[in-house]
Structure 1
Amino acid sequence: MSDAATIAARVEAFVREVVAPYERDPRCGAHGPSEDLVRELRARAKDAGVLTPHILADGTHLHHREVAIILRAAGLSPLGPVATNVAAPDEGNMYLLGQRASDEQKARFLAPLIAGEARSAFFMTEPAAEGGAGSDPSMLQTTATRDGNQWRIDGRKAFITGAEGAKVGIVMAKADEGATLFLVDLPDPAIRIERVLDTIDSSMPGGHAIVAIDGLRVPADQMLGAPGEGFQLAQVRLAPARLTHCMRWLGACTRAHEIAVDYANRRHAFGKPLVDHEGVGFMLAENLIDLKQAELMIDWCAGVLDTGALGTAESSMAKVAVSEALMRIADRCVQVMGGTGVSGDTIVEQVFREVRAFRIYDGPTEVHKWSLAKKIKREWKTANG
């Protein structure tokens, strides 16, 4: 853990000193930082030796508990994960490819991601209006049809993070054998971005797109795993990706809390600093409690993943507990800072928006609770015959 702590300290210094001043850069738009800004930030991260810090030079992926402290440091700015190349969806896609891709696939698709030279997108979610897959991936409608030594993929996808500007795609489609994953080079004329949605979050390059896939041809050797293994492979990515979201946004809320604390100590009202008013001081105290509980929940779940377990239930519990705690923290920070808290003068307002979206992304709170309730029922039935 000492090596990871050293890496995390370097990442934190880089994010606070180099990345944070970019937070008001005009290249930060409604659909995330521009490609030009991403390249500039990653070049600076590479020069500082903190690009893709969770994967060592020999390709070794650090343990999840080690990754936790590094990604929390990267998350201290909404731009930090993008700059250091640990942002979603790239971080989760790198993990999946590192675990299950062939050597040839790693050289072609994973290497440029690790080098920070390419971004990626995970094409799974589909439009709700068409009855497509969302929180229930079994509703998958995009099809994959075998055609000689190729596969033809057709369908529509929705909320595809980073599709605009991505160079690597992982597409989930339904073959006769079941859900299957394919690796594709982007852009491809058969994958058309219909529009990029306007959403309340704005930290991820490329935003979230509605995408049409019409006659996409994919060679058989670009299938990830075997036909019908799509859900199984997605599970490899799912729990760690949920948890790394928690790690990054814990960093963002840590920074928002710091800003709120500074504001409450400097701002005076009714004859004394805001922090001395019980209503304000207690909110900041509650933030400390929620921050620590979130940190401990992440560490516990990371420890489970480090045993080699899938950690499906544990990551659901962590995702619910942490996302809800972070929402409370972000909300209190806005409240403590009043008018300043709802303005763009600090990142507090953005963190509030990002964390609100996080309560939905990677599975809404209610879906995770429903899944856990099903587990409780299964275990009860097993115990009671």
Structure 2
Amino acid sequence: MHFDFSERTQDYIQRVSDFMDAHIFPNVETYRRQHDEVGRWNIPPIVEELKAKAKAEGLWNLFLPPNAEHDTPDYHGAGLSNLEYAPLAELMGRVSFGSEVFNCAAPDTGNMEVLHRYGSTAQKEEWLKPLLAGEIRSAFLMTEPQVASSDATNIETRIERDGDEYVINGRKWWSSGVGDPRCKVAIVMGKTDLNAPKHAQQSQILVPMDAPGIEVVRMLPVFGYDDAPHGHAEVVLKDVRVPVDNLILGEGRGFEIAQGRLGPGRIHHCMRTIGAAEVALEKMCRRLLSREAFGKPVAEHSIWEQRVAEARTDIEMTRLLTLKAAYMMDTVGNKVAKNEIAMIKVAGPRVACKVIDDAIQAHGGGGVTSDYGLAESYAGIRTLRLADGPDEVHCRTIAHNEFRKYRDKNYGKTVDAEKMTEVVGSR
């Protein structure tokens, strides 16, 4: 078992790290100042400036994996595997807008992978090409306020055929990215056939954001933070009409597309959360070393030694688990790696939230203000325990896979206590 990265990965790690040090970290304050100057729902000019620099250095579309069947000169990325991309996502996750600079920000990454893997030639030309160029941004509309969307079969949005068009009606929320003025297209998930088998009712379709009938009702705050200029919107679609050619892959293929999209996306999210946790741990240590209480540095009080040690341990364990999941996705596929993917989706945000919360505590009253960026970081990471499926759904998957190891076919789906003891003892 090898724990070192390949030479190519190490080269990318160095290049991304150097770029972060030279261009992104020094411009965090510039971003904040410009954000105030241009207005919350406009894009600070520094973002486009840094995107041009990253593109010129070949640090662009790093997330897009190799796919010989679909790669063309116009539609390709760096060709990195999940394992090669993972440490880069961690580096980018240290700054809120870091991923966007390299054209590696969600939900664009997932949408581009969908179009790259499942899109038609016309769909790629119209939407994937400008997304890969960083000229536009996109959104993914799945979650709905009226149903328990953790079970996606509950989704009620209708996508109904009418001649050469599909007519879309529904209400979505937590539509991340809709607040961005560059957001030009959304992938919408809804039902095309209510009479089909449960997992064949859903389809995904491309909807231009300027289509008649789309209403952005409101931007949803997270603990008071609006995440501008990205934002998370509640959106109503009323008799929205798009050409039938906008349907992705075909009717009833929505779940198939979603599963292909979510595996890599969870690797990206988890590694970015590790980056955020590393930043929080760094801030916590610096704060503890700089303050004294009761006659000695706060860092020397045993409770803080314990918390720092646990933070480092938890981060390392989560990173290794995420890298294992990435490796398995690359070598045996997403389906075989589903348990590892579920585990990192639970572990990543939980660990990051704990580390950030301890860092807030270390900063005292300042920790809950906007002064140190920790409260905003916590708000963003806390949403990841809900986004892409809540913890409970992933824990259910993990538990079912675990129970499957111990089921006795002679007893159906359950095993009595005595039999379970025998099975466990025989392992």
Deviations along 1:240-271, one digit per CA (max 9) or x if unpaired, are 21221111111111112112212222223333
Give the partner amino acid of 2:390: P
Deviations along 1:215-258, one digit per CA (max 9) or x if unpaired, are 22222222111100101110101122122111111111111211
Give the partner amino acid of 1:309: N
Give the partner amino acid of 2:43: E
Inter-partner Cα distance in structure 1 for 2:216 and 2:95: 29
Query: Are 1:374 and 2:400 an aligned pair?
Result: yes
Which of 134, 140, 144 is the equivalent residue of 2:149?
Answer: 134
Which structure has the bigger radius of gyration? 2
Query: Are 1:154 and 2:179 an aligned pair?
Result: no
Change (3 A) 1:205 1:64: farther
Aligned twin of 2:425: none
Change (3 A) 1:249 1:28: farther
Aligned twin of 2:354: 328
Deviations along 1:277-305, one digit per CA (max 9) or x if unpaired, are 22212211111101101110110111121
How many residues are treated as equivalent by the alignment? Answer: 381
Report how far residue 344 of structure 1 moved. Answer: 2.3
Aligned twin of 2:211: 188
Inter-partner Cα distance in structure 2 for 1:349 and 1:27: 21
Report how far residue 174 of structure 1 moved. Answer: 0.5
Report how far residue 382 of structure 1 moved. Answer: 6.7
Which of 302, 322, 327 is the equivalent residue of 1:303?
Answer: 327
Instruction: Please identify, of 363-372 and 315-324, the stretch whose mean Cα deviation from structure 2 is larger.
Output: 363-372
Query: Are 1:173 and 2:190 an aligned pair?
Result: yes
Report 1:69-84 matches (<5 A). Answer: 69-84=87-102
Report how far residue 139 of structure 1 moved. Answer: 0.6
Report how far residue 275 of structure 1 moved. Answer: 1.7
Give the partner amino acid of 2:359: C
Aligned twin of 2:345: 319
Query: Does the 8 Å contact 1:155/1:213 carry over to 2?
Result: yes
Which secondary structure state, in structure 2, belongs to the residue aligned with residue 125 of structure 1? coil
Change (3 A) 1:382 1:240: farther
TM-score (norm 2): 0.82
Instruction: Please identify, of 162-171 and 244-253, the stretch whose mean Cα deviation from structure 2 is larger.
Output: 162-171
Query: Does the 8 Å contact 1:253/1:351 carry over to 2?
Result: no
Inter-partner Cα distance in structure 2 for 1:188 and 1:19: 35
Report how far residue 74 of structure 1 moved. Answer: 0.6
Compute the RMSD of aligned alpha carbons.
Answer: 2.4
Report how far residue 337 of structure 1 moved. Answer: 2.3
Inter-partner Cα distance in structure 2 for 1:205 and 1:107: 27
Change (3 A) 1:102 1:181: same
Change (3 A) 1:78 1:359: same
Deviations along 1:200-228, one digit per CA (max 9) or x if unpaired, are 35557431111011122222222111100
Report how far residue 54 of structure 1 moved. Answer: 3.2
Deviations along 1:132-153, one digit per CA (max 9) or x if unpaired, are x511100111111111222111
Change (3 A) 1:317 1:383: farther
Query: Does the 8 Å contact 2:273/2:348 carry over to 1?
Result: no
Inter-partner Cα distance in structure 2 for 1:252 and 1:318: 15
Aligned twin of 1:349: 375
Report how far residue 52 of structure 1 moved. Answer: 2.6
Which secondary structure state, in structure 1, belongs to the residue aligned with residue 242 of structure 2? strand
Report how far residue 120 of structure 1 moved. Answer: 0.8
Give the partner amino acid of 1:12: S
Deviations along 1:109-147, one digit per CA (max 9) or x if unpaired, are 1121121111110111111xx33x511100111111111
Change (3 A) 1:352 1:215: same
Change (3 A) 1:13 1:269: farther
Give the partner amino acid of 2:55: K
Give the partner amino acid of 2:384: F
Report how far residue 41 of structure 1 moved. Answer: 4.1
Inter-partner Cα distance in structure 2 for 1:181 and 1:137: 13
Amino-acid identity (%): 35
Give the partner amino acid of 1:90: D
Inter-partner Cα distance in structure 2 for 1:85 and 1:255: 22
Inter-partner Cα distance in structure 2 for 1:47 and 1:369: 42
Aligned twin of 1:197: 220
Change (3 A) 1:55 1:140: closer
Which of 9, 24, 47 is the equivalent residue of 1:19?
Answer: 24
Change (3 A) 1:323 1:335: same
Query: Does the 8 Å contact 2:137/2:185 carry over to 1?
Result: yes
Aligned twin of 1:45: 54
Instruction: Please identify, of 194-203 and 360-369, the stretch whose mean Cα deviation from structure 2 is larger.
Output: 194-203
Query: Does the 8 Å contact 2:169/2:239 carry over to 1?
Result: yes
Instruction: Please identify, of 50-59 and 92-101, the stretch whose mean Cα deviation from structure 2 is larger.
Output: 50-59
Give the partner amino acid of 1:269: A
Report how far residue 32 of structure 1 moved. Answer: 7.3
Query: Are 1:290 and 2:308 an aligned pair?
Result: no
Give the partner amino acid of 2:233: A
Report 1:168-247 matches (<5 A). Answer: 168-176=185-193, 177=196, 178-200=201-223, 203=227, 205-247=229-271
Report how far residue 43 of structure 1 moved. Answer: 3.3
TM-score (norm 1): 0.91
Inter-partner Cα distance in structure 1 for 2:265 and 2:28: 25
Which secondary structure state, in structure 2, belongs to the residue aligned with residue 35 of structure 1? coil
